[in-house]
């Protein structure tokens, strides 16, 4: 229970930090969303103070002391109100987000799980058969790991989409279909997601492989593996149930931390494929000086990553009893 309490407390602090950073950054540096809207709508005629005041109220710009603004901001967040988007004015930020979020969550989620499973399996085999051809693959994967996600996406798109014409060049679905739970749409969405997902898997699998392989090598020197061998157990059983089962623990813990990187990597990847997810929305928000949307996206990404981390931490306590005692 102590472990659980510590974790919960930590994540509360982390959430508070994310929320507060999100509040402070624009106020410390610059930014009046009203000016942004006016610039965006090319409204050069001077605005009446009353009209301006009304707009400011809509965007929550006040001259209140900072702590009062902070409390108001927290209150809005609790009610799920992120304010109005500037570039999609007057659509609320939460609505813009709810349209782009599912694309990223599904595509990146599936790609991440695939790459973890693939990386851990290959890493296990590479560590087990150290010095064989499989192990010789490791330096090659280093090269893969050093490639920027989005560049790999560019090259894949050029080769498989452009030259061979196997995959669509952009977007997340065919515009002839209607978004919803129908087969033509789902089929086109899956078809469009294959290449972006493949580029994420290819670029991130190396890290998992390497970590698992190194851990496997360490674990195989443990006494209990030697004992298992001496007992004459089948090699396959030793590899999976004795060595890999213990070696996989850091990868499980690493999974949570890497999640943040995968989200980051997918932002640029989405640009390459014009994929209608959070990354595209983020870049569009930057280009249009849409600060409310920008902040909403950062907050949602942070909360998602924190939430996933929390779940993995809880799982970790179940898998590895030592964690529970250590706290």
Partner 1 sequence: MATIETQRDVTGEVVPGVVVPTRRPRWRGLLRSRKLAAGLAIVGFFALVAVLGPLLVDDPNQVSDDRLLAPSAEHLLGTTTTGQDVFRQLVAATRGSMLVGLVVGLLATVVSVLVGVLGGYAGGHTDESLSLVSNVFLVLPGLPLVVLITDYVQTRGALAIALIVSFTAWAGSARVLRAQTLSLRSRDYVDAARVSGEPGWRIVTFEILPNLLPLIAAQFVFAVIGGILTEAALAFLGLGGAGSWGTMLYFAQNSQALSQGAWWWFVPPGLCIALVGAGLALINFSLDELINPRLRVPRRPRRTGPA
> Among the candidate windows 50-58, 68-76, 173-181, 214-222, which touches partner 1 by CB under 8 A?
214-222
Q: How many chain residues are in contact with partner 1, going by CB under 8 A? A: 86
> Among the candidate windows 53-61, 75-83, 192-200, 253-261, which touches partner 1 by CB under 8 A?
253-261
From the list 9, 11, 30, the residue with the least C-alpha distance to 294 is 30
Q: List phi, psi (to 5°) of 92.
A: -70, 150
Q: Does 244 bind partner 1 (CB under 8 A)?
A: no
**Any idea which residue has 């392989």 for tokens?**
213
State which of positions 87-106 bind partner 1 (CB under 8 A): none
CA 183 from centre of chain: 27
Nearer to partner 1, 114 or 147 (CB): 147
Min dist. Cβ of residue 192 to partner 1 (A): 16
Q: How many CA atoms lie within 13 Å of 229's alpha carbon, on the beta-carbon side?
A: 9
Cα 325 to Cα 172, 247, 248, distances in angstroms: 47, 20, 20
Out of 58, 70, 74, 151, which residue is the one contacting partner 1 (CB under 8 A)? 151
| 143-171 b/e (C-beta count within 10 Å ≥ 16 → b) | eeeeeebbebbbebbeebbeeeeebbeee
Q: Count CB neighbours of 129 within 10 A.
A: 12
Nearer to partner 1, 47 or 61 (CB): 61
Min dist. Cβ of residue 213 to partner 1 (A): 9
Q: Does 154 bind partner 1 (CB under 8 A)?
A: yes
Helix (H) or strand (E) holding 96: helix 93-128
Token pair in block for residue 282: 């983020």
Separation of alpha carbons 240 and 220, rounded Å: 11
**Any idea which residue has 């990386």 for tokens?**
119
Q: Does 311 bind partner 1 (CB under 8 A)?
A: no
Out of 158, 182, 186, 227, which residue is the one contacting partner 1 (CB under 8 A)? 158
Token pair in block for residue 137: 């693959």
Q: Does 66 bind partner 1 (CB under 8 A)?
A: no
Nearer to partner 1, 47 or 304 (CB): 304
State which of positions 165-194 bind partner 1 (CB under 8 A): 169
Min dist. Cβ of residue 186 to partner 1 (A): 27
Min dist. Cβ of residue 51 to partner 1 (A): 27
Nearer to partner 1, 3 or 185 (CB): 3
Separation of alpha carbons 132 and 136, rounded Å: 6
Out of 70, 185, 191, 261, which residue is the one contacting partner 1 (CB under 8 A)? 261
Token pair in block for residue 209: 């492989």
Q: Does 272 bind partner 1 (CB under 8 A)?
A: yes
* Per-residue contact flags (x/-) with partner 1 for residues 25 to 54, judged by CB under 8 A: xx--xxx-----------------------
Q: Does 55 bind partner 1 (CB under 8 A)?
A: no
> Among the candidate windows 50-58, 69-77, 89-97, 309-317, which touches partner 1 by CB under 8 A?
309-317
From the list 38, 44, 29, 43, the residue with the least C-alpha distance to 59 is 38
Min dist. Cβ of residue 139 to partner 1 (A): 7
Nearer to partner 1, 198 or 220 (CB): 220
Q: Tell me whether residue 252 is exposed, middle or buried, using C-beta atoms within 10 angstroms of its C-beta: 0 to 12, 13 to 18, 19 or more.
A: middle
């Amino acid at each position: 229970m102590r472990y659980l309490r510590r974790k919960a407390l930590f994540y509360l602090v982390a959430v508070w930090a994310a929320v507060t950073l999100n509040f402070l950054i624009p106020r410390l540096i610059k930014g009046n969303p009203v000016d942004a809207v006016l610039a965006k709508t090319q409204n050069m005629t001077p605005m009446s103070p009353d009209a301006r005041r009304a707009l400011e109220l809509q965007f929550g710009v006040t001259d209140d002391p900072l702590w009062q603004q902070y409390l108001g901001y927290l209150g809005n967040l609790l009610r799920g109100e992120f304010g109005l988007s500037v570039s999609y004015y007057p659509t609320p930020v939460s609505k813009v987000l709810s349209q782009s979020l599912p694309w990223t969550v599904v595509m990146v989620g599936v790609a991440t799980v695939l790459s973890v499973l693939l990386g851990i399996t290959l890493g296990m085999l590479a560590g087990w058969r150290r010095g064989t051809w499989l192990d010789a693959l490791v330096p090659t994967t280093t090269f893969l790991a050093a490639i920027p996600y989005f560049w790999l996406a560019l090259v894949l798109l050029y080769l498989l989409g452009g030259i061979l014409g196997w995959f669509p060049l952009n977007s997340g679905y065919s515009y002839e279909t209607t978004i919803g739970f129908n087969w033509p749409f789902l089929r086109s969405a899956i078809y469009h997601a294959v290449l972006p997902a493949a580029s994420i898997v290819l670029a991130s699998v190396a890290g998992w492989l390497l970590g698992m392989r190194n851990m496997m090598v360490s674990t195989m020197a443990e006494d209990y593996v030697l004992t298992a061998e001496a007992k004459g157990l089948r090699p396959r059983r030793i590899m999976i149930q004795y060595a890999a089962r213990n070696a996989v623990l850091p990868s499980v813990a690493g999974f949570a931390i890497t999640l943040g990187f995968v989200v980051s990597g997918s932002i640029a990847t989405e640009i390459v494929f014009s994929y209608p997810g959070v990354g595209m929305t983020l870049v569009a928000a930057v280009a249009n000086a849409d600060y409310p949307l920008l902040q909403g996206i950062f907050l949602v990404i942070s909360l998602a990553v924190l939430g996933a981390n929390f779940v993995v931490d809880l799982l970790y306590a179940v898998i590895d009893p030592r964690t529970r005692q250590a706290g």
